[in-house]
Amino acid sequence: MERCFPTASILTKTSVIVARRCASPCNHFRAECKNTKQTRCCGGNRVTADRNAEGHAGKDGFAGFDPKSVEPYIVKDPEGLAVNLARAMEQLGKAASAWLAPRETGEKSDVFAEPVTDMVKTLSRVSEYWLSDPRRTLEAQTHLMGSFFEMWSRTLHRMSGDAAAIDPASLQRADKRFTDEDWVKNPFFDFVRQAYFITSDWADKMVRDAEGLDDHTKHKAAFYVRQISSALSPTNFVTTNPQLYRETVATSGANLVKGMQMFAEDVVAGRGDLKMRQTDTSKFAIGENIAITPGKVVAQSDVCQVIQYEASTETVLKHPLLICPPWINKFYVLDLNPQKSFIKWAVDQGHTVFVISWVNPDERHAAKDWEAYAREGIGFALDTVEQATGEREVNAIGYCVGGTLLAATLALHAAEGDERIRSATLFTTQVDFTHAGDLKVFVDEDQISQMEVGMRATGYLDGSKMATAFNMLRASELIWPYFVNNYLKGQEPLPFDLLYWNSDSTRMPAANHSFYLRNCYLENRLSKGEMILAGKQVSLGDVKIPIYNLATKEDHIAPPRSVFVGSSSFGGKVTYVLSGSGHIAGVVNPPDKGKYQFWTGGPPKGEFDDWVKTAKETPGSWWPHWHQWIEKLDKKRVPARKPGGTLNTLEEAPGSYVRARA
């Protein structure tokens, strides 16, 4: 047998190979395996091997490693690579200029120090626990060093050809960042991968086992450790990611040139901040191929437009349906396209659908608080529904923070004797914030005060700030994969309507956002019956109307346990439903897709885990179950209604408010 081997293959067998210089005229290095007397010439001339030595691991020495597999990692065009690296640096310089420009003019000022200071202060509390006692310090060090020694021992055994040294747990660990086979087969990347998991697991354990920390500090510390671990993953760097390394070698760095060009464009698009693209936004246009359910804008206030959609059935349910979406994002998540649109589906079931489209606020709206959004938003929409249809009573839906506002408004209406909302459906809505999830990391007195100082200067919270916070909740899915694909691989993202919506961020009025953070996340006043609206102390216990309370199993924004606990705050009957998937996909789940499932059970009383154990699972979408719930309340129908009725319509749906970009 004759075979050629690159020089790099010698470096992978240091435990069993002795390297010597070949005799003239070759003058390259040669290597001899002590076990098989196999000779290898790095010059690629020839190799002769006797593989009959008993006890040798086989052809590759490192279990699962083929020496030929290193060839894609060898630079074949060093000059081309050098030129492209220079071009990539040039693009990086353009990004730096775009970042500096608004800061030199005073248009932007950075507040990097504030979150970094909070992170250092929080993690210092963890370090203080482990360093304050020499025994604990030794325990922490021993745990980390012991794990590294075990890994090193396994690696040495594998490099000597001992396939039994493979750690099954390290190969089977479910992490889609490490799907490339060279993360296991290649000794270098296998070592890097194991070292990363050991270190990140150790850091997580240090937070988990630290005693004497209050719950909020411990929660923040765990969150910050996850952010650091996600950022420092070897998948995020060219030289430690096998796929990136191979691609950079194969293209002589052209991928980095394209990636840095995209990076510079994204900094320019963000006017000095990085606005990372998650989808091809050029493929979407609001009102043309997204948010296209036919309807009219029938009314407009300072904080919202009210849209009424055209009926698609000859008769409609007597009571109209009013949807109050979150103002943190735009309403068309419920109308992405005809196949996914909850709005269109509800219209097709015979609902007369009205939707509140919130304004994308600027400095003029700085003083618009929750009372303003309750009066000029929900109250204004209820007046509009009555004028357009003649019906005083409606069924209402609130989504996320829109649901929290709707619940607070219901409590205000109960105090005032306003009975226009006869039933309420809440999509992934928290009214009790005891178990509010990772967003609580951003909420304490210091952080809110700093945010309020910034909002006073502009009158609003910039949409990018909230978008970044939401993305950080799932950084390993919503930040770093796009960083790698966009800027290191140089790949344009594919068009995806949901990610287009996700990138279409909105601003928030200063007074509104401050009220929300303080009254809900910080002080949890709504569930306690302590919230003050319109000068009145309001209580959810006074809300006696039927409530359909939808949670989603994998929700990281409104955790299902939090929604469950909040159900007990209402004074009437609550139907709690748990849907599969997360905050968006669990809600936007058309029945004809046959995806996911939902659980129903008895009243939401007692412990959440106990309710789940006895709940009935139903395959598919919860939408039909909700519609049946509505019809059980009142299924009377009337002739289909024309948008606006006697009102003069203002413009075609989806209106102008939703088109304003932050």
Angle between helices 187-208 and 134-159 (to 10 degrees): 160
Active site residue 42: no
241 to 184, 226, 384: CA distances (angstroms): 12, 20, 57
**Cα(58)–Cα(65) distance, rounded to whole angstroms?**
10
Beta bridge partners of 261: none
**Cα(493)–Cα(362) distance, rounded to whole angstroms?**
30
Structural tokens at position 2: 């004759």
**Greatest CA separation found in the chain?**
101
**Cα(494)–Cα(196) distance, rounded to whole angstroms?**
30
> Are residues 11 and 188 in contact, defined by beta-carbon separation less than 8 angstroms?
no
Q: At residue 525, what are phi and psi to the nearest 5 degrees?
A: -75, -30
410 to 220, 254, 547, 572: CA distances (angstroms): 33, 58, 11, 12
The single residue of 42, 324, 400, 520 carrying the catalytic annotation is 400
| Cα–chain center distance at 392 | 39
In 3D space, the residue among 96, 9, 85 whose CA is nearest the CA of residue 44 turns out to be 9
> Are residues 347 and 309 in contact, defined by beta-carbon separation less than 8 angstroms?
yes
Contacts within 8 Å (CB) and 24+ apart, 278-283? 278/478, 278/482, 278/493, 278/496, 278/499, 278/502, 278/503, 279/493, 279/494, 279/495, 279/496, 279/499, 279/500, 279/503, 280/492, 280/493, 280/494, 280/495, 281/500, 281/503, 283/495, 283/500
Residue 648: partners with Cβ closer than 8 Å, 6 or more residues away: none
Structural tokens at position 268: 């320019």
Catalytic residues: 400
